[in-house]
Amino acid sequence: MRNSDSEQGLSSQALRKQIRRYILYCTVSLLMLITIISVLIPVISFLSASALLLPVNPYDRAKAIATDYVPFVEYTNYLPYKLSKIMEWKQFDSLLNLTNSPTRDSLVNLYKDHQLTLTTNIPKLQVGNVSVLVLTTGGSSDCNETTIFARTVSQMDLIRENIVKQHSNEMREVHASGEINKVFKTRKISVLTHIDGGHTIRDSLEVLQYYYTAGARIMTLASQKCPNKFIQSSNYKTIGGYTNGVSTPGKRIIIGMNKLGMVIDLAHCTESAITSALSVSFAPVIISSTGSKYLSSHEDNLSDEVLLLIKENQGLVIISQNPLQLSNKERLQFNKFKADNSTTPEEATMKMIKWEISSSSSRASVDDIVEHIDYVKTITNSCEYVGIGQGFENPNQPFTTSGAESSANHMTIAAALIQKGYDDTCVKNIMGLNFLRVLAKVEGVAKSIVSSA
Ligand SMILES: *[C@@H]1O[C@H](CO)[C@@H](O)[C@H](O)[C@H]1NC(C)=O
Ligand SMILES: *[C@@H]1O[C@H](CO)[C@@H](O)[C@H](O)[C@H]1NC(C)=O
Ligand SMILES: *[C@@H]1O[C@H](CO)[C@@H](O)[C@H](O)[C@H]1NC(C)=O
Ligand SMILES: CC(=O)N[C@H]1CO[C@H](CO)[C@@H](O)[C@@H]1O
Ligand SMILES: CC(=O)N[C@H]1CO[C@H](CO)[C@@H](O)[C@@H]1O
């Protein structure tokens, strides 16, 4: 009995041992499984987000990036100005009965011909997969502070009431970087308001505050056409204005924009003005309407030194789509037309447009845009400080770059970058993320200034 008892004891001991071993085995297996899963999930999600699972064709890959990962940004678009012009003309009407006849060569009528085929509309934005549309107000050659203020306010109203509200299925007005991703997920276009020209604030921080309250989040200090009290314009010799970097009121405006959380755009400034402005601003800035001076010697272009300063500032350089800026050849051609005493400026413009149409192979193209992007990338050794998307519907700039004529062409540029061998991270940064980063950082700086005050 005892024997069999102890035998039984032994065998139950063996059984317990076996059970323990079994439990140990199960625990180890479970741990291994958990480890494998916890490693695999990030790897799989990384792979699915990376090039490996994206389509191989550059255009399809660009589309996949725009649809699934990154809101493409169009910066800046002058539609509000153009629409307000159309409305003004409506009032005086006989002129509104327009044809596309190329025999019209006064500049006014030229614009009218242009407006008949707007380069920006909802279908074109959708084809271009544009998810953030920065709309410009102000931006005319009206330099009277009183009337340009009224025009700016009325164009802001036009954005809200006519552009966004009437397309509420496709668009939303946004005021913060955080809203953009939410709108992106609903497949709508985020609309942000930009003010073109510091002269529109009538020298007043209250007006700046008013613009902010009314929804504007970006302002360009200088302007192409009007003299400016705040900052030295690159064309100050022709249009006048402040001549020595940034003025004292200009510094006040820069700090005021930092405090509000408004992005400062330093387009159309001299390099010394840009350098002073960077030393004043607490937040990153944007320089739009630009290109590399090394590649093309336009007055709004940037030297390598300034490109590096922008990198230090964590800011953003936005390559222009103005062919006169991208290509020396086009600019020299236009200068030739302008130099002819027998033609008016309007006729020179018309001749240039005809030249663009007839010389399609020699004009500036998407390749030039890519070349400028690549130059900034090389100098800054990074894809984080360069973007695209400047200036459609700008009545001061009737010329187009081949392959980048409208809002439908963002995808073409993204595909060209992919074709050039840019990885997805670079394409995402250039097409949208760099802009969103600057916007978020500007908001963060405003919060930190307010909380430390
Ligand atoms: C445009 O021209 C047509 C025909 O000449 C005329 O019937 C129409 O009233 C005109 N429209 C405007 C807005 O002037
Ligand atoms: C600007 O426009 C206002 C309103 O039309 C006018 O009263 C004022 O004299 C103008 N100012 C200048 C400097 O022309
Ligand atoms: C333009 O006008 C200037 C002065 O009137 C004259 O010297 C010059 O030859 C003219 N140039 C052309 C291309 O006609
Ligand atoms: C974000 C966005 O608009 N994506 C669109 C890009 O284009 C494709 C095809 O036209 C659409 O399916 C996406 O919704
Ligand atoms: C801002 C700037 O430096 N612009 C320069 C662009 O290039 C032309 C011609 O070389 C210069 O005259 C401008 O000063």
In the chain, domain spans: 2-44, 61-452
How far CA 254 is from CA of 85, 278, 293, 308, in Å, comes to: 30, 10, 26, 21
Closest-CA residue, ligand 2 atom 14, reads 144
Pocket test for ligand 4, best of 63, 73, 125, 190 (most atoms within 8 A of CB): 63
User: Whose atoms come closest to the Cα of 337: which ligand?
Assistant: 3
From CA 112, how far away is CA 89, in angstroms rounded? Answer: 9
Which residues, in sequence order, are CB contacts of 15 under 8 Å at separation 6+? none
Q: What angle do CA 251, 310, 432 make, to 5 degrees?
A: 110
Half-sphere exposure of 364 (CA within 13 A, CB side): 30
- What digits encode the pLDDT tens for the residues 186-205? 999 999 999 999 999 988 99
In 10 A of CB 229, how many CB atoms? 16
Residue-wise DSSP of 249-263: HHHHHHHHHHHHTPE
- What digits encode the pLDDT tens for the residues 57-116? 999 999 999 998 999 999 999 888 877 776 665 443 333 333 332 222 333 343 444 444
CB 135 within 8 A of CB 392: no
CATH topology of domain 61-452: TIM Barrel (3.20.20)
Asked if residue 150 has its Cβ within 6 Å of ligand 2, the reply is no
pTM comes to 0.80
- What digits encode the pLDDT tens for the residues 294-333? 777 776 788 899 999 999 999 999 998 888 888 888 888 9
How far CA 353 is from CA of 81, 328, 334, in Å, comes to: 21, 16, 9
From CA 446, how far away is CA 451, in angstroms rounded? Answer: 9
- What digits encode the pLDDT tens for the residues 349-394? 888 888 887 877 788 999 999 999 999 999 999 999 999 977 787 7
Closest-CA residue, ligand 4 atom 10, reads 127
Residue 15 identity (one-letter amino acid): L
Both tokens assigned to 50: 């990376």
Pocket test for ligand 4, best of 126, 170, 171, 190 (most atoms within 8 A of CB): 126
CA 83–ligand 1 middle distance (angstroms):
20
Pocket test for ligand 1, best of 86, 97, 101 (most atoms within 8 A of CB): 97
Atom of ligand 1 nearest to the CA of 94: 14
CA 417–ligand 4 middle distance (angstroms):
19
The string over 408-429, giving b where at least 16 C-beta atoms fall within 10 Å of a residue's C-beta and e elsewhere, is bbbbbbbbbbbeeebebebbbb
Both tokens assigned to 363: 């004009």
Q: What is the mean pLDDT of the chain?
A: 85
pLDDT at 143 over 80: yes
Atom of ligand 2 nearest to the CA of 145: 1
CB 193 within 8 A of CB 163: no
CA 339–ligand 3 middle distance (angstroms):
9
Which residues, in sequence order, are CB contacts of 376 under 8 Å at separation 6+? 292, 307, 317, 319, 385, 386
CB 405 within 8 A of CB 117: no
Nearest to 149 by CA among 200, 194, 193, 196: 200
Atom of ligand 4 nearest to the CA of 131: 1
DSSP bridge partners of 216:
193
The torsion angle over the Cα atoms of residues 299, 303, 305 and 306, rounded to 10 degrees, is 40
CB 73 within 8 A of CB 431: yes
